[in-house]
Chain A
Amino acid sequence: MEVPGQVSAATGPIRGVGYAAISIQPGKTRVQKQLMAIRASRLAAMRELAEKIYGLDINSYSSLSETVMQSDTLRGTVSGLVRSARTVSIGPIKTDIYETILEIDAVDAASMTSNRAPTPR
C-alpha cells in the first residue's frame, strides 16, 4: 500500500497526475494558452508526486463564539526535493483540458525520503 511520506522500495512506481484548463490560462493566442496549460498540468503533477512522496502537512483552525461557528480554515502544505521523475504522458484529454502523468520509481522515492526528511512549511 502506498503511504505518503513512508515510501517503501517494495511498492511499485509512484504516479502523479496533473490537470490544467486551457481557456483560463494567460496568453494572447490559443497556442500560447495551450503551452501554459501544458506547463501548468506538469506542475500540478509534480506537486501531486511530492505529496505522495513526502506527505501533506495539514493545519486547521476553527473558532467558535457563543457556541456559534465563526470561522473554519484548513491549510495543507507540501515541500520536498524530487529527482528522477519521468514523464509518462502529456496530452489533451478533452477540448479544454491538458493532462500530464509523471512517474517515479519507488526505490528512488524511498532513497529521497531516507536521505532527507520532508520539510513542509
Chain B
Amino acid sequence: MRYRFVMALAIVSLIPVGSADAGTRLIHAIGRAAVAGKDITAARKSALAEALYDAAGQVRMVVRGSSFMSDAGAIHEESGIAVSGSLKGYQVVDERREGDHYIVSIDALAETDDGECQTAKKGDIAIGGIAIRVAPGLNGAVERQAREGVDALIGVLKERPTIHLIDDRRYHPVARTSSTVGQNMTYLAALAGHSTNPGAYTLSGSISFKRVHADTVVVGESSIEVTADLQLVDNVSGAVKESFSEHTTLALDKHLWGTSISLPQDSETSLDGLWQTIADKLADHVGCSSLRAVVTAVSGNRATLSAGSVNGIKPGDFFLVELPSQDRNSWQLIRVESAGASQSVARLMKPKPAVPPNSVAVLLQ
C-alpha cells in the first residue's frame, strides 16, 4: 500500500476543511478504468474520477427509475441517479494495473448530517461546581430536595446512553470565600492524581429555590420557584458551548384565605421533570455531536487519546485530526489499536502531517 496525494478533480465538490463539529465519515471507495494503449495517466485519472464518484455516492444519491412494458413485450427502461456528496478530502491508498484496467482505491472524508444521535459512543460531561441556593425559611423536605438536587440530576444523566458522566464536584468548589480554597482544591487534585478530562465539557452553574406568593382575595397560595442556570463549558477552548436556564414551580401551599382549608395546586410536586429537561438538552448538545478526544501524547507514529472504553471507544475506531493550515490535506487519520478505560492508543495512518499534543481528534463514523 502506498500513500500518495493526488490533485483534486472536478468530478465532485471538495470543500475546504471546516469545523470538526459536523459529522464526518471515512469512506473507502474504488474506481476502475480501462487502459487505452499505453496511456496509464489517462486511465488513472478516469479511475480516480470513478472512485470519487463512488465516494460521493456513498454519502448521498437519489435514485429514480421507471420500467414500462407494453402489450406483453416491449420494455422501455429509464434510470436516473443524482449523486451529491461533499468530500472534505481524500487520499489514494492503493492503485494498480490489472490487465487492461487501472484500479484506484481511495479513503475519503465526507461531511454527513445524519445519524450522529444514533451513535453508540458516549461524550464526556464533567460535573463542575454547581451552587445550590435555598431561600431561608423553606421547610425541611424542600430544603432536602434542593440539597440533593445535583445528585438527582447526576442520576438522570447517568442513564443517558450518549453521555459519560464524570463527577468532578469535589475539585470545583462553589463557595470560594478566599483564593486559598481554590489553591487547596488544586493541591488536592494533584495529590489524588486527578486531572480534568481535556476533551470533556464541564457543566457548572447554580440552582436556586425561591418562595413565591400568589395571593388573591379568596385564595392564599405560595409555591417554590426553582431555577437552574447552567453552563456547558468546552474544556478544550474554555468557551461556553451552551447556557441553559430552566424553570419549574413546586407546589408549597394553597388555602382559602383566612382559613386552614387546603386547595389543590397545579404546580409540580417533584423536580424530576426539571432534571429530565436538562438531561435532554445536554444529550442533544453532547450526545448528538461527534465524539471527540484530545491527543495527550505522541510518540513516533503512536498517539494517546483522552477517550477510552468508557466512551465506547474500541480498537478499529478511526479519529480525524484537523490541523490549522491552508493545505487541503492537512489532516491526519488515527486508528485506535488498544482502548483502556479512559485512554486509548492509536496509530497515525499517514506519514504526514505530524500531530502535536493537545490536538483535538474527532471520531469518524
Contact = CB atoms under 8 A, between A and B. Distances in A.
Indicate, yes or no, whether A interacts with B.
yes
Interface of A: 29-31, 34-35, 38-39, 42-44, 46-47, 49-51, 71-87, 90-91, 111, 115, 121
B56 to A, nearest CB: 11
A35 to B, nearest CB: 6
B9 interface: no
B79 A90 contact: no
Instruction: Give the interface centre of A31, A71, A115 by most chain B CB atoms within 10 Å.
Output: A31
9 contacts: A34-B33, A73-B69, A78-B63, A78-B65, A79-B63, A82-B61, A85-B57, A87-B29, A91-B32
Interface residues of B, number: 33
Contacts of B60: 81-83
B63 A111 contact: no
Q: Is the interface of A mostly helix, strand, loop or mixed?
A: mixed
B109 to A, nearest CB: 15
Contact of B71 (A47, A49, A72): A72
Interface of B: 28-30, 32-36, 46, 50, 54, 57-72, 79, 81, 101, 114-115, 118
A4 B62 CA distance: 17
B68 A31 contact: no
B28 A44 contact: no
B96 to A, nearest CB: 14
Contacts of A44: 79
Instruction: Give the interface centre of B35, B65, B67, B101 by most chain A CB atoms within 10 Å.
Output: B65
Contact of A82 (B63, B67, B101): B63
Contacts of B114: 83, 115
A99 to B, nearest CB: 11
A70 to B, nearest CB: 9
